[in-house]
């Protein structure tokens, strides 16, 4: 990926909310993703593709098709079809030299809209079956995306049955394969990033809820900014490497900031009055279920860490609610997803309505 020319993440003009949402998900992968809604040509896909450059590296077992965390329990490996690798895991349990561990950047795995179910879930390895007469799993996209980012462009156009599969594994963090003669399961926890143009139809409610955060973006209307977008793009097209070098330094600073935030995150606390604030926010606005509360809390803590603080403040909550609630506000069927969460809260408070 490194040598291909990718538009630098930081060179994207404006769209601060989208960039912030993506960065927060890098710092804290348990935020479970972002849904980016917006019209055509608003740098949605560019931003996600550019993400790869600023992703931190993680420890991986070399050549592991399931992206296992070397620190994770090894029960999974015991059932793995890769006998050689399994042997090494047993070795390492006995205190000897185990599998080789490498540092590798988090991957962005793209799920094409036309992907078939067997490619997503995984299926039987045809070659092995024919050559050796043995059944083996051929890992699918969900295996590749474990501990990484699963990116779906035009997520609202995804086939229904593929969505079902995503729901299944997003809910459990496990991909269970019970098909085509194969019975196998492996962990699959990914950050789900989707982009969509709402004009082409909305997402199914259940899938909508799986995205931790949601940002609505629109084209920039400030003429200066528009000019600047054009200039940057032209520069990039004419001299990609020169342009990328220009942003190299800033990218490094951002990566360092992300790294610091990751370290700081476990120390961030949320005082009780702030918890009260979160819960009443959700009740005032009227959301389904409890995922909203949980995501706001996580987002607020991540925001604090990103700003180098160890305590959540009320501005974090305000900001977090704007990211975590737009797609969770209870609405009538066929109603639009709200754009401004805090105004709804004000309105509901004023009218004394609360769920």
Could you give the dihedral angle defined by the CA atoms of residues 266, 272, 275 and 277, in that order, rounded to the nearest 10 degrees?
-140
CB of 280 to another protein, least distance (A): 6
To which H or E segment does residue 354 belong? none
Residue among 28 and 46 whose Cβ is closer to another protein: 28
CB of 124 to another protein, least distance (A): 5
Contact (CB, 8 A) for 29 and 36: no
To which H or E segment does residue 142 belong? helix 141-144
Q: How many residues does the chain have?
A: 355
CB of 135 to another protein, least distance (A): 6
CB of 32 to another protein, least distance (A): 11
* Cα–Cα distance for residue pair 260/249, rounded to 1 Å: 17
Residue among 98 and 212 whose Cβ is closer to another protein: 212
CB of 216 to another protein, least distance (A): 14
Residues marked active site are found at 291
Beta strand 174-179 with 182-187: parallel, antiparallel or unpaired? Answer: antiparallel
Residue among 13 and 277 whose Cβ is closer to another protein: 277
- For 20, the 3-state DSSP assignment is helix
CB of 266 to another protein, least distance (A): 7
Which of the 8 DSSP states describes residue 219? -
Contact (CB, 8 A) for 258 and 54: yes
- The string of DSSP letters for 111-138 reads --TT--HHHHHEEE-HHHHHHHS---EE
Residue among 8 and 65 whose Cβ is closer to another protein: 65
Which of the 8 DSSP states describes residue 158? S
CB of 54 to another protein, least distance (A): 24
Contact (CB, 8 A) for 157 and 113: yes
* Cα–Cα distance for residue pair 132/83, rounded to 1 Å: 14
Residue among 19 and 68 whose Cβ is closer to another protein: 68
Q: Which two tokens stand for residue 269?
A: 């606390």
**Angle, to 10 degrees, between the axis of helix 240-264 and the axis of helix 16-27?**
50
Residue among 244 and 275 whose Cβ is closer to another protein: 275
* Cα–Cα distance for residue pair 202/199, rounded to 1 Å: 8
Residue among 52 and 312 whose Cβ is closer to another protein: 312
* Cα–Cα distance for residue pair 133/126, rounded to 1 Å: 10
Q: How far is CA 67 from the centre of its chain?
A: 16
Maximum Cα–Cα distance for the chain, whole Å?
A: 71
Place of tokens 């090494």: 88
């Amino acid at each position: 990926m490194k040598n291909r020319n990718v538009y630098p993440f930081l060179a994207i003009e404006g769209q601060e909310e989208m960039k912030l949402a993506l960065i927060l998900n890098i710092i804290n992968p348990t935020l479970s993703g972002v849904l980016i809604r917006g019209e055509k040509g608003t740098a949605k896909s560019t931003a996600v593709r550019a993400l790869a450059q600023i992703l931190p590296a993680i420890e991986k077992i070399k050549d592991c098709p399931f992206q296992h965390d070397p620190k994770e329990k090894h029960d999974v490996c015991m059932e793995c079809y890769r006998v050689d690798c399994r042997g090494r895991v047993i070795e390492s349990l006995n205190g000897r030299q185990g599998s080789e561990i490498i540092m590798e950047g988090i991957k962005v795995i793209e799920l094409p809209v036309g992907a078939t179910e067997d490619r997503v879930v995984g299926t039987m390895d045809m070659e092995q079956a024919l050559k050796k007469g043995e059944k083996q799993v051929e890992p699918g996209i969900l295996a590749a995306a474990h501990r990484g980012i699963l990116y779906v462009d035009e997520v609202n156009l995804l086939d229904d049955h593929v969505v079902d599969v995503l729901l299944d594994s997003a809910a459990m963090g496990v991909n269970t394969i019970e098909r085509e003669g194969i019975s196998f399961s492996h962990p699959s926890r990914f950050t789900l990033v989707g982009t969509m143009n709402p004009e082409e139809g909305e997402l199914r409610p259940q899938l909508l809820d799986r995205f931790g955060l949601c940002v609505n973006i629109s084209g920039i209307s400030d003429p200066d900014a528009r000019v600047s977008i054009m200039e940057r793009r032209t520069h990039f097209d004419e001299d990609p490497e020169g342009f990328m070098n220009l942003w190299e330094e800033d990218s490094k600073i951002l990566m360092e900031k992300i790294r610091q935030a990751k370290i700081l995150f476990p120390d961030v606390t949320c005082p009780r009055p702030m918890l009260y604030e979160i819960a009443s926010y959700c009740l005032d606005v009227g959301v389904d279920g409890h995922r909203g509360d949980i995501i706001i809390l996580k987002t607020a803590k991540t925001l604090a860490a990103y700003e180098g603080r160890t305590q959540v403040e009320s501005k974090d909550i305000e900001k977090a609610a704007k990211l975590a609630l737009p797609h969770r506000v209870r609405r009538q069927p066929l109603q639009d997803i709200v754009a401004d969460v805090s105004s709804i809260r004000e309105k509901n408070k004023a009218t004394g309505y609360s769920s």
